Amino acid sequence: MRRPATANVAVCLGVLVLVDILRVWLPAIITIFGQAASTPAELMGAFALLWFLLPLAVPALLRRTGAGPVALTAVVVLAVARLALTATPGGQLQLYLASVGLLAGLVWLTATAHTTVRPVPGLVLGLALGTIAHTVLGTYDLVWRGGWAAWTVSVVLVGLLVAAQARTPTQPVRAADAEDSAGVADTWPAVVQARSWLLVGPTVLLSGMVALSPALAGATTSYLFGAPTRRLAESTGGWGLPEGTLIGLAVGLFVLTALSRPHRSTRWWGPLALVVGVLLFAIGWIPALAPAILLTAAGLGACLALAGATTGEPAPAGSVAARRRSYAAAGGMLVFVVAAIAYYAAYDLGYPNGWAPVAVAGLVAVQASRPAPGAARDTPSPALRRAASMAAGGRAGRLAAALTALTVLGAVQIPGDSDDPAPRSAADPIRLVAYNIRMGFGLDGRFDLAGLVDVVAGEKPDVVVLSEVDRAWLLNGGHDTLALLARRLDLPYVFAPAADPVWGDAVLTRIPVRHAETRALPAVGAPTGAQALAVTLDLDGRELVVVSTHLQPPPDEGPVVQARAVASFATGYAGCRPLVVAGDLNTEPGEPAFAEFIRADLVDALADARPLPTSPADAPHGQIDHVLVSGGITPRDAVAPRSTASDHLAVAVTLAIGGGC
């Protein structure tokens, strides 16, 4: 059976749109269904799992209806849902539109597997083009942007998808093929075809988490501008050449290895590179992130090439082989969601999670390297195999080089951050904003970059302290929220990781930063990690210390131990210099954890404005976001501007900097 070009185009565009849907659906599970962590993690997991279990019923349906009508109907629903998500105001409507779109995408994928033998070319190009677009957009997806340009591109994209699917021919099942006869169910090509479809879900997961994540590449590059030994990241001047080079190389390696014909003598290196790359990512060692990205990209592509390589003619699209492929596609996406839940639920439930992506990488490696039954049959001559390998490698190399260049150039074109910070006089008051931004998602569940910028910029801050900063989590859509905000606020940043290298706290300021240091806080049973980031600001020869932190209380207790650790670290680091401690402290004034800061001779800078509730944002009744200062600093004009761009309100205060101790 020949593979029509339209089938590859349909798979490519379908993967693009499905990943777009996933970038909305995954965070909606947390922000809308999860209701700001008030919904049990087990219930959220069951809800997520349900949508991936339903497509397992599709192969049986296809025996009666045929794959063509089901795939086309599913694509139309997928296209409508994708466009509707840009128009929806958020909330429950967004959650269920994304869920319907996700289900339609999974049904389309399962039906497509019924009629399409080799998914690898379309899958690889779809993920590569999606990565390029995500990079050029600075990780701020079209679905969240709105505006005529985003609508135009979205309409064209889904229109092309529907047209490609409508033109994709399907092969009817012959009566003879419907029997479970030997030679159809057990031929090597049939096994290989199912194996390729099984790896679609794991490939989407590993590419989104590691191999093809522009946000992870950007965060990794920003660490190179900081000091890896201090585990700090700093502004890189925008999405310039270094970040574009890293993600461009990853795209090029992925495409080159995936679309080249593998050599039997080197079939060991792809699985090994994949497992090693994901292991480096899982251990969270910052200097290893760049090689982790490149190794995972090359290894993942090589494994896809191994899993999808066939010799001789592929098996016909009979019912047994077709059902095998359909179940494999649905099962692979089930692996995607189970592994994603297992990995990210650890940040709510508190258990080691590095094994989840490593287990998925191991699955891919085993499937790619496992010899297929009957592999020796219908094998071309060595000369013919070498010629085919050279031809495939040449085409893949040219395509990989073009995609790499496109990624790099697209990244370079995005504007950078501000110029070098200007000195600031100690006599000038400083406006400080502290904000828990909930990874950029508002109460309506939409990625509300504009709302966050409005709140912060409206206070005309000199220093911004941010909590819950996400720089690459697939669960949150794969955005580099910090870089997006820093560019729009025109403020350089210093970032310190807490839970892992791409989730933590930040300080943004145009005041020159002379030194910075981060200190990990004791976990004491809290599932999510915590840290304290201290930066030294140069006020025209005098120094001000600002400490950004986000305390994580253990279950049913206050964050007393962490508060004591922050107070000790902050006062010790500052010495006699003026000191500000700010962030989401998860404690109310007067509670034991708050008292630890008062005991360290810090003053509540928001006391004169109380009551100043900050949580929850739509009906605030508790104040858990704070600014505390040393005795030589005089606070005034404290406010908590109303907004639903996060589940917290920001707090802002003007500080007159006096002498130290």
How many residues are present in the chain? Answer: 661
User: Using the 8-state DSSP alphabet, how is residue 513 labeled?
Assistant: E
CB of 140 closer than 8 Å to CB of 132? no
In a domain, 286, yes or no: yes
My answer on whether 401 and 438 are in the same domain is no
My answer on whether 393 and 442 are in the same domain is no
In a domain, 424, yes or no: no
> Residue 309's pLDDT is what?
67
- Distance in Å from the first CA to the final CA of the chain: 82
In a domain, 603, yes or no: yes
For the segment 75-109, what is each residue's pLDDT rounded down to a tens digit? 999 999 999 999 998 999 999 999 999 999 999 99
How many C-beta atoms surround the C-beta of residue 565 within 10 A? Answer: 22
Q: What number of helices (H) and strands (E) belong to the chain?
A: 22, 13
My answer on whether 465 and 333 are in the same domain is no
> Residue 400's pLDDT is what?
61
**CATH number of the domain to which 550 belongs:** 3.60.10.10
Final residue belonging to a domain, choices 361, 385, 412: 412
- pTM, to two decimals: 0.91
Phi/psi for 472 (5° steps) reads 180, 5
> Residue 493's pLDDT is what?
96
Domain count of the chain? 2
My answer on whether 9 and 55 are in the same domain is yes
How many C-beta atoms surround the C-beta of residue 290 within 10 A? Answer: 20
Measure the CA angle with vertex 137, ends 133 and 464; round to 5°.
150
> Residue 397's pLDDT is what?
65
For the segment 166-188, what is each residue's pLDDT rounded down to a tens digit? 988 765 444 344 444 334 444 44
For the segment 334-352, what is each residue's pLDDT rounded down to a tens digit? 999 999 999 999 988 889 9
For the segment 442-452, what is each residue's pLDDT rounded down to a tens digit? 999 999 999 99
In a domain, 421, yes or no: no
Give yes or no for residue 379 having a pLDDT over 50: no
Residues 6+ apart with CB under 8 A from 206: 274, 278, 296, 300, 357, 360, 361, 364
In a domain, 74, yes or no: yes
Residues 6+ apart with CB under 8 A from 310: 118, 188, 189, 192, 193
Q: Residue 320 sits in which domain range? A: 5-171+184-412
My answer on whether 225 and 277 are in the same domain is yes
My answer on whether 435 and 579 are in the same domain is yes
